[in-house]
Structure formats: C-alpha cells, structure tokens
Homo-oligomer: A and B are copies of this chain.
Amino acid sequence: MPRRISIRQSVMAADEKIANRLRRDLKDRGILMVNLIGSPGAGKTTLLESTLAGTDLRSAVIEGDIATSRDAERIARTGTQAVQINTHGGCHLEAHLVEKALEELALDKVDIVFIENVGNLVCPAEFDLGEDYKVAVCSLPEGPDKPLKYPHLFCEAGAVLLTKIDLNKHIPFDRELFWGDVSRLNPNAKKIEISATAGDGMQEWKALLSRWLGEKR
C-alpha cells in the first residue's frame, strides 16, 4: 500500500515542522516539555497527580484522551492548569493539537509542560509533538514482556518508568527480564521504579525532571 504510506508521510512531515517550531519556541522561553506515553491504565494521571503535589516546579498539563475530560478534571483539582484534548477516536496526539492546547495555557510562569498522551503503547511513539523527551510509563501488572513486544516506544524514550511497583507484593514480576530488555533496546534511557501512591521513586523522578530542565536552560 505505497500510496497510503506516502500520504501518511506527508501529513507527518507537515506535523514535524510544527513540532520543531514548538520545540524552538519552548526552548526560547526556558520551558521543558515531556510527553508521557503508556497503555490505558498504566497510571499516567496518578503519576502526574503525585508529581504535581509538593514540587517547586511550576507546571501545566495537556491531557489527551479519545473521549471525556475526566483526566483534566483530576489534574485541575491539584491546582495545576490543564487543557483537555479529545481526539474523538484518534489513537494518538499530533503536534498541531498540542500547538492549539499550548495557546490556551498561561505559560509565562511555567517551567514544565507535561503531555499525557492517549493511552496506547503503540501509535503515540511515532509522533513528534515538539517534546524534549518521551517518557515510557509501563505498569507492573502489565507484565515484564512489554518492552520486546512493543519496542518502538522503549527505543525512543528518554526515561522508562515502571509504575505500581507496590503491587509486587501480590503480583510476581520478572524485573531482570523487564530491565534487561529495556537496557538492550535503549542503553541510555533513565530507568526508575515508581509507586505514585506509596511514594517510591518519586524523588528520583522529580530530580530527573529538574536535571532535564537545568540542561535546557
């Protein structure tokens, strides 16, 4: 189906230009943008809620969902400004959607913009949204075989977060397999185990965000 591929590539090329423009604009303003990608239910929103609580970093959040504004409402309850994008069936966010969402945010006092992508371990990995880093969010109950079965995101990610590790008391999980596969796919990815509810790993995650922000400024 070469015809389909060529159209798709031209659409992606147009979006790539927008992504590069967003990245330049945000660099000029000293703002870091992080694109969180993971399966439905991987714990992305809960991770954000914990990240936003008790941090010095001034944040804004762009929530991507096919339908509902539940996640943006959860973020807004933390006191952080949030914009909801509904893709109405679309399986991933694209840069032109992020561009519109950024226009709705008051960015003059913001250090970090978090994008929570549509819950999907596959398609969002292919799209550049103008972010500085993609972050792979994989939860322990999904099982340790995910990196090799869904390699693209794990190869692209600046960091891989294994979430819900408090459940390891009840669910067996082969850490060596999981982290071994991650390291083979992407030796440079920062690797953090997190329980957003119990607090494990949150300091390390926030320190990584601060380091990324410092490197940008």
Contact = CB atoms under 8 A, between A and B. Distances in A.
Interface residues of A, number: 39
Given A4-B7, A8-B4, A142-B40, A65 B149 contact: yes
A86 B49 CA distance: 36
Contact of A41 (B123, B126, B146, B151): B146
A169 B169 CA distance: 12
A217 interface: no
A151 B39 contact: no
A122 interface: yes
Interface in A93-140: 118-123, 126, 139
Nearest to A90: B122
A208 interface: no
9 contacts: A39-B39, A39-B40, A40-B142, A67-B150, A89-B126, A89-B152, A91-B91, A119-B150, A167-B170
Interface of A: 1, 3-4, 7-8, 11, 39-41, 65-68, 70, 89, 91, 118-123, 126, 139, 141-143, 145-146, 148-152, 164, 167, 169-171
